[in-house]
Structure 1
Amino acid sequence: MKTPLLSILAAVSLAGLSAPPAAVAAERWDGGTVATVGKIIWDAGGGRLGLCSGAVVDAPNGSVVATAAHCARTRENPDPPREAWFVPGYDHDDDSYREDGWRIASWHTPEGWDVTRETVEVLPHDYAFLTLAKKDGRTVQEAWGANRLVFEPVAEGRRVAVLGYPAVDPYDGESLRYCEGDTDVLGPGEAQEPNVGGLVLDDCDLTAGSSGGPWIQDFSADGQSGTVVAVMSVGSADGHVVGRPFPEEARELFAAAGG
């Protein structure tokens, strides 16, 4: 049986990050960045920044980013940040995120992500979509490209790369990191109930800041994109991470973000 996975990789400020798990270190991404993957940044108050990760996904309006629902709303912060930006291809410069990024115009979380309930009860709904405003008359997809998005069921046994910007020591949130392995979907008896249906990867120490980062199959270096099958949701203290795929009911939410 796999280790029960319940400790959330929360979208928290840099001042509140927890200690890193003892696990295999996530590697730097070859080439430094991926054009269609980026960092979500907002002012969390008190001189702190809120951080998450996300990926541009192909949508009719060219302005949609897939991420985790807990990047938008938590019990402690039930409303999304008033002003936040997505910086595609982010690489070492927090100070210019407003100039380099696309402003988030709206946050779309599923009805099941009810932050008045215990986190473990709503984990199956830990996915979200962001709609970005245009910048200089262009959509983020026109400027940087996009990944294909797929809904459940997710094909198992295929190589998947999990990308994000971890911000807990020894990481500083400034460079894109990744873990890689074969896609494995958690079934009944393999995990506690909230994580059944999620994707699991072992020996990976991506930490807070990587929340919402894409799980990508069939990545193409030429197109700087692939197929997003899930987003980073939770992790354990011994190097297991779980990605949350997109159920059929997520199609309506995606249509609202991308219409």
Structure 2
Amino acid sequence: MRQLRRTALLSLASLASLALIVGSGGASVAQPTGGARPGGADTVASAARLSDGTGVASRKETDRLERYWTPERMANAIPADLRGPAARLAGDPAWQPGPTGRPGTTPAAAPARRDGRAAPRVNESAAVGKVYFRNPVNGLDYMCSAAAINSPSKQMVTTAGHCVNTGGVNGAAGQWMQNWVYIPRYRSGARPFGTYAALQYRAFTSWVTHSDFTRDAAMVTTLPLNGTKVVNATGGHGLSWNFSRNQPMAVMGYPGNRDSGELQWICQGTTRQYGFFDPRIELQCDFGGGSSGGPWLREFNAANGLGSQNGVMSTIGGGGWNQSPYFDDAVKAMFDAQGSVT
């Protein structure tokens, strides 16, 4: 049985609804690390850029992002839906029927220091936040959810693949999002931990070239903010992979159909496999646009807002069922490839 509720807040909050768009675009700015095929495990990385093509690498660019993301621009960011394709036909060899190895986990991390901020109440996680970005295909602004994840760099967050790249069609690569920022525990315009700019994205090649929703996951290295890395500031979730598809899970994010995306929400229940020939997992949370990229957490601890990430919000289907890619060895390989980038 699922439980669905708004997270408790220490202060009143109001925020524009959060969502993202999936579109097709022109050539990618990065080269794949291997062959591209739907369901494939290869990944591709790209430097984050501003809308004029400038790479994000210093305080100068982050200051420009601060000026770009005004309260008015964030309030007008466009919610988009989470609709994905139907399950693939039986017999497609790209689908993986189960775990690709033994289950494994990496540890979560509490914040490195206490700075006098009041602790969040039950179920509001400082390690979950909002993402804003510009879609280069149409020049419009969108929003997503994301989460900090503990890695050697202490600078990484997880989100959906379609929150970093528009997705490809028939092998033609999609375009990377621009002006990308992550705001931990953002509510009503408040930025208690500041705004973290993307430094580098990593997504699955099969998403970038084929819009493959079974690989709709991404990891993003962020720049430190005033010398502080995001995981040291907010804490970071662990990572789980190759676990059973039937798991007690807490799904967190900012769905636009709950309080217009103004508050952080949590849905708790036990996941199941999406389809007999579809490796994704699902939970009937009825989270709409804006929740994309939010973490699906095993062993969620309401006392500290941390858990072990075993999925990421991707799509919504009939009856309010939300789907996530299944986290297998390929997701762990993505974590290993990106987790030390600084």
Per the shorter chain, which TM-score range? Answer: 0.7 to 0.9
* Secondary structure in 2 matching 1:100: coil
Match of 2:145 among 36, 43, 53: 53
| Aligned positions of 1:202-221 closer than 5 A | 202=284, 204-221=285-302
Separation (CA, whole Å) in 2 of partners of 1:186 and 1:48: 32
Structure 2 alignment gaps of length 5 or more: 1-17, 22-75, 84-119
C-alpha contact (below 8 Å) 2:269/2:283 kept by paired residues: yes
Separation (CA, whole Å) in 2 of partners of 1:57 and 1:90: 17
In structure 1, the partner of 2:281 is 199
For the pair 1:149 / 2:239, whether they are aligned, the reply is: yes
Q: In structure 2, do the counterparts of structure 1 residues 215 and 134 end up closer, same or farther at CA, with 3 Å as the change threshold?
A: same
For the pair 1:91 / 2:187, whether they are aligned, the reply is: yes
C-alpha contact (below 8 Å) 1:33/1:90 kept by paired residues: no
Match of 1:40 among 114, 118, 131: 131
C-alpha contact (below 8 Å) 1:10/1:71 kept by paired residues: no
C-alpha contact (below 8 Å) 1:33/1:91 kept by paired residues: no
Separation (CA, whole Å) in 2 of partners of 1:146 and 1:211: 18
C-alpha contact (below 8 Å) 1:158/1:217 kept by paired residues: yes
Separation (CA, whole Å) in 1 of partners of 2:181 and 2:82: 26
Q: TM-score, normalised by structure 1?
A: 0.77
State the Cα deviation string for residues 4-51 of structure 1 (Å, max 9, x = none): xxxxx972384463599xxxxxxxx96473111111112458995311
Give the partner amino acid of 1:143: A
State the Cα deviation string for residues 153-210 of structure 1 (Å, max 9, x = none): 2234432111111124x5422211122111323452xxxx4xx1211112x2201110
Separation (CA, whole Å) in 1 of partners of 2:123 and 2:319: 26
Match of 1:73 among 146, 165, 179: 165
C-alpha contact (below 8 Å) 2:250/2:269 kept by paired residues: yes
Q: In structure 2, do the counterparts of structure 1 residues 219 and 135 end up closer, same or farther at CA, with 3 Å as the change threshold?
A: same
* Secondary structure in 2 matching 1:205: coil
Note the aligned Cα RMSD (angstroms).
Answer: 3.0
* Secondary structure in 1 matching 2:327: coil
- Quote the sequence identity (%): 26
| Aligned positions of 1:1-40 closer than 5 A | 11-12=20-21, 14-15=77-78, 17=80, 31=122, 33-40=124-131
Match of 1:179 among 267, 279, 284: 267
Separation (CA, whole Å) in 2 of partners of 1:184 and 1:30: 29
Separation (CA, whole Å) in 1 of partners of 2:123 and 2:234: 15
Give the structure with higher Rg (CA): 2
Q: CA deviation at 1:81?
A: 2.2
Q: In structure 2, do the counterparts of structure 1 residues 91 and 226 end up closer, same or farther at CA, with 3 Å as the change threshold?
A: same
Separation (CA, whole Å) in 1 of partners of 2:134 and 2:233: 25
Q: TM-score, normalised by structure 2?
A: 0.60
Give the partner amino acid of 2:266: Y
Separation (CA, whole Å) in 2 of partners of 1:35 and 1:138: 15
For the pair 1:228 / 2:309, whether they are aligned, the reply is: yes
Runs in 1 of length 4+ with deviation above 6 angstroms? Answer: none
Separation (CA, whole Å) in 1 of partners of 2:153 and 2:309: 18
Separation (CA, whole Å) in 1 of partners of 2:332 and 2:194: 30
Give the partner amino acid of 1:34: S
Separation (CA, whole Å) in 2 of partners of 1:156 and 1:197: 9
Q: In structure 2, do the counterparts of structure 1 residues 224 and 185 end up closer, same or farther at CA, with 3 Å as the change threshold?
A: same
For the pair 1:129 / 2:211, whether they are aligned, the reply is: no
Q: In structure 2, do the counterparts of structure 1 residues 43 and 112 end up closer, same or farther at CA, with 3 Å as the change threshold?
A: closer
Separation (CA, whole Å) in 2 of partners of 1:221 and 1:145: 13
Q: In structure 2, do the counterparts of structure 1 residues 64 and 127 end up closer, same or farther at CA, with 3 Å as the change threshold?
A: same
Separation (CA, whole Å) in 2 of partners of 1:33 and 1:55: 12
Q: CA deviation at 1:236?
A: 1.4
Separation (CA, whole Å) in 1 of partners of 2:198 and 2:283: 30
Q: In structure 2, do the counterparts of structure 1 residues 136 and 19 end up closer, same or farther at CA, with 3 Å as the change threshold?
A: closer
